[in-house]
Structure 1
Amino acid sequence: MGEPAWIGVDLGTQSVRSVLVDAAGTVLAHASRPLISHRDGDRHEQDPGDWLAAVDATLAEVSTPDVQGLAICSTSGTVLLTDQAGAPTGPALMYDDARAGAYLDRIVAADPTRWATSMQPTWALPKILWLLDQAPSGRRIAHSADVVAAHLIGRPVATDTSHALKTGYDLVAGQWPLDAFDTVGLSPEILPEVVLPGTELGRVSETKAQVTGVPAGTPVFGGMTDGCAAQIAAGALAPGAWNSVLGTTLVLKGVSKDLLDDPTGAVYSHRHPDGGWLPGGASNTGAGALTAMLPGADLGALDQAARELGPIAAAVYPITGTGERFPFVAPKAERFQLGDLPDDLHTYSAVLQGVAFIEKLAFEHLESLGAEPVRSVSLTGGAVRSGYWNQLRADVLGVPVELPASADPGYGMAVLAASAGTSLTATAARMVRIDRVIDPRPQDNLATLYGEFVAELDRRGYRG
């Protein structure tokens, strides 16, 4: 027998990725398979059969006889129906599918105190009601990670508190809100049991062991949504440490001892597997503004030129559509710019600065709700490829930023699996490696521009 290792499976939007990690945090193997989405207006679906085939294939590439356990993450709010055996009965409605918006008023009316400011059209609960209205009786609710776990184990499984959040699970009470569900016509018989992340859901069946190479009897542990999985991979699991994921959009995740109460609904919290909370939010701003505003541009060349140019006296509020959800809720928010943008280079630089300003404002909002002051931020997501942007974000935030060595959500799930029965925070401290730390530099001109940026948000009424 070799050294023990754990597998993390990331069921993403564009691919399934599996990674094998040892106790020291070294990645021993990884594999991926692409996924196809079907989009039509506000609809976004995937075939769950594609997930299962991709999971089998990637596990077969990374598995060894030394696997001690595995955990699965998937996109938050992706949901589908299964039969009583846990097998999918139709397509999955993805995290950003908005077809069920008409159900929102009905849900809020069932429990205004609970859902008036938090429930959104793309959350799982409205989509579940839509699915049930189209389906025959005898169906069960499942999140994407649940379906994969059931596939490996051979029977329906419990879901975890992280995936259950956008289905309406009450994390404070630790139960489904059955009275409100009864009002909207949701029967408790179709709801899964809910457990904490890291709880054993079952063990890999003999049948799937033959297909995947994962030893029969290997524990499958409850996972978390992909944002939380990335936070684990970044090692941001103690108060004051935060993970900032910057890709198409900006997502922040942190830790608080007590639940942060945000009356605006911009911040929501997951349960920390070790106790306490994982507060954060997802903005509609991010690097997506670059491709929207600079279609076809050579972003690599612009990044190099921006490094040489340095900070400029301009900023773009970097939203691609209409409406903002974090760090403030403003359904009518639209993109704007401060200062002159004479060419693509200045536009590029202004977007980078605008994203950094939104990031800083988000942390200020979190601290205003009672979060501990930010002492460090782990940067993950596609934007970390820009060294200039990383330094700019450190300068604007005024705190060190860290670049983890292995920041993908699958890695985070391997760490979660390795922590079963022990402290996740301690396990991550042992396994997660930081590749580089970037210290902030004083930038008085950016501080002045940031004040003007926030004042413009207020002038437009976006922050209430």
Structure 2
Amino acid sequence: MSVWIGIDLGTQSVRAMAVDADGRVLGAAVRPLTSHRDGPRHEQDPEQWWRELAAATREALRDVPPGRIEGVAVDATSGTILLTDRDGAPLTPALMYDDRRATAEVDRVNEAGGHVWERLGYRRMQPNWALPKLLWLLRDAPPGVRAAHQNDFVNRRLVGHEVSTDLSNALKTGADLIGERWPDDVLDALGVPPGTLPGVVRSGTRLGAVCAGAAEETGIPAGTPVIAGTTDGCAAQLGAGTRRIGSWNSVLGTTLVLKGVTKDLLHDPLGVVYSHRAPDGSWLPGGASSTGAGVLTRDLPGRDLNALSTQAETRRGDLGSAPITYPLIGRGERFPFAAPGAEGFTIGREPADDVERYVAVLLGAAFVERLCFDYLDLLGAPVDGEIVLTGGATRSAFWNQLRADVLGRPVTLRENAEPALGMAVLAAGGPGHMIRTRAVIEPSAAGLHEPYLRFVGELERRGWLPANAAGHARKRSSS
């Protein structure tokens, strides 16, 4: 039986997974990665990516017959970039996805490329996006350097020659996802030398085959097809099995991230939703909120969250009158509205104990999730398909049921929705039977309509949520 290798090259670790056609994990391994942070700087050593990737794949493949391996694909963090020489050796550390030292370059990037960014629906680049960081790196670079995204660097090591980048990782470097090419006029205006950036291809395109040297280091058989991957967020979406138009993956961990599938490109006047390109040419719109379960770690340090969830279940009948916390991790919100000055708050009385504090956060996160879907519907996105919940929050049965109740529709849980699985799916050319459903949770009659509208009204009153978005949320809630 055939086996595919998925590799998730993240921030804190690299994970390799060998998966068969029925979704069974035949081998998996994780290796840690080290970051260097200093104020706005966040760097990693690209050579460490390769060393730990090779160690992870060797372990993951220890009991997998080499003759069964059919392909490998790698995902990586979005917006991470470095410079290499012509042979692919790193000339700089990697500037990671949240490195913000390129603030001075952003205005120039948006002035030169604003017409392209507008057409692509996201309107403006941010300081942590890859193109401003590329300009920052090029200021002191010698002639003839090459730019590489995180997975470009390791893909080149795998095949032993230059490779194209995928459109997903190229988005934050300014790729024209409609024309599927680089906007040469913008890059010329910004002074990016021709040949600095790799070619662009869709995710799922064959880049080459594992070379003999890489095979010796990684344990992946020489000649194994290397498939163009994607960003970690899109990889998680593939792992969740949300590939049909109108289906959505809602990832609730430290923060909340929604990613879905649409036939046409969405245009968001607020610029809080932007779209990747899917392997089949459809679009993958999404947005990342600054709210999420990270507030639980901050506000309930050391508490047993499983015990709190069990205790919360006994108070389910009190949800309609419970306090509601807007669970903002720090200052500022990104989605479903843009509010740099937003701060967390609690509606109603102060929570009486830790169980109420816990429930207040869970309610607020569920209401933000519902508001995200209301805003996507306002933009014209189809939101009537399957909703798959993934992320650490799905460990709480109470929270899963609460989210189904607030959304007023069934939600699906998968057995495995890791980004590494998504890359195995991509390497295989499609999910086949690799995506397995663990449960479908039906909504109950929890009576959370009025608390949700109070929450929406408070966001509007504070001037963060635009009136048209608030009005649309009310309209959908009453229909």
Query: Which TM-score band applies after superposition, normalised by the shorter structure?
Result: over 0.9
C-alpha displacement of 1:214: 1.1
- Whether the aligned pair in 1 keeps the contact of 2:313 and 2:398 (CA below 8 Å) is yes
- Of 11, 14, 17, the residue aligned with 1:13 is 11
Structure 1 position 321 matched with structure 2 position 327: no
Tell me, yes or no, if structure 1 residue 194 matches structure 2 residue 172: no
Q: Does 1:177 align with 2:175?
A: no
- Correspondence for 2:155: 149
Describe the shift of the 1:295–1:454 C-alpha distance in structure 2 as closer, same or farther (beyond 3 A). same
CA drift at 1:123 = 1.0
1:410 to 420, 434, 441: 420
Work out which of the residue numbers 357, 361, 366 in structure 2 matches 1:351.
361
CA contact (8 A) 1:9 1:73 kept: yes
Of 33, 46, 49, which residue of structure 1 is paired with 2:47?
49
Residue 134 (structure 1) shift: 3.5
Residue aligning to 2:475:
none
Which residue in the other structure is 1:399 paired with? 409
Question: What is the aligned counterpart of 1:253 among 255, 259, 272?
Answer: 259
Decide whether aligned partners of structure 1 residues 395 and 190 sit closer, same or farther in structure 2, where only a CA change above 3 A counts: same
In 1, the alpha carbon distance for the partners of 2:410 and 2:387 equals 7
**Matching of residues 19-418 of structure 1 within 5 Å:** 19-63=17-61, 64-65=65-66, 66-115=68-117, 117-310=123-316, 311=319, 312-340=321-349, 341-418=351-428
What is the letter of the counterpart of residue 393 of structure 2? A
CA distance in 1, matches of 2:345, 2:273: 24
Deviation at 1:429, TM superposition (A): 4.8
Contact 2:35 2:42 in 1 (8 A): yes
* Partner AA of 1:456 in structure 2: E
Alignment gaps of 5+ in structure 2: 467-479
Matched-pair contact (CA < 8 Å) for 1:18–1:59: yes
Given that 2:322 and 2:356 are in contact with CA atoms closer than 8 Å, whether structure 1 keeps it comes out as: no
Aligned letter for 2:99? Answer: D
Query: Structure 1's 429 and 365: CA in aligned 2 closer, same or farther, altered over 3 A?
Result: farther
What CA deviation, in whole Å up to 9, does each residue of 1:408-446 have, x standing for no partner? 000000010000xxxxxxx325321101111111222x2
TM-score, scaled relative to structure 2 = 0.92
Secondary structure at the counterpart of residue 423 of structure 2 = helix
**CA offset at residue 318 of structure 1?**
1.1
Q: What secondary structure does 1:458 align onto?
A: helix
Matches within 5 A, 1:385-464: 385-419=395-429, 427-444=430-447, 446-464=448-466
Q: Is the Cα–Cα contact under 8 Å of residues 203 and 219 in structure 1 kept in the other structure?
A: yes
Quote the residue 2:470 is aligned against.
none
Deviations 1:278-335 (A, max 9, x none): 1111111111111222233332322222222222522111112121111111122111
CA distance in 1, matches of 2:169, 2:156: 15
* 2:326–2:344 CA contact under 8 A, matched in 1: yes
Equivalent position SS for 2:177: coil
Is 312-321 or 113-122 further displaced after alignment?
Answer: 113-122
What code does the residue aligned with 1:218 have?
T
RMSD: 1.4
The Cα of 1:217 is off from its aligned counterpart by: 0.9
Classify the secondary structure of the residue corresponding to 2:431.
helix
Unaligned stretches of 5+ in structure 1?
420-426
Q: Which amino acid counterpart does residue 227 of structure 1 have in structure 2?
A: G
> 1:376 touches 1:399 (CA, 8 Å); kept in 2?
no
The one-letter amino acid paired with 2:106 is L
* Match in the other structure for 2:469: none
Cα offset for 1:350?
Answer: 0.8
- Give 2:474's aligned residue: none
Deviates more, 1:163-172 or 1:428-437: 428-437
| Contact kept in structure 2, 1:314 and 1:449, CA below 8 Å | no
| TM-score scaled by length of structure 1 | 0.95
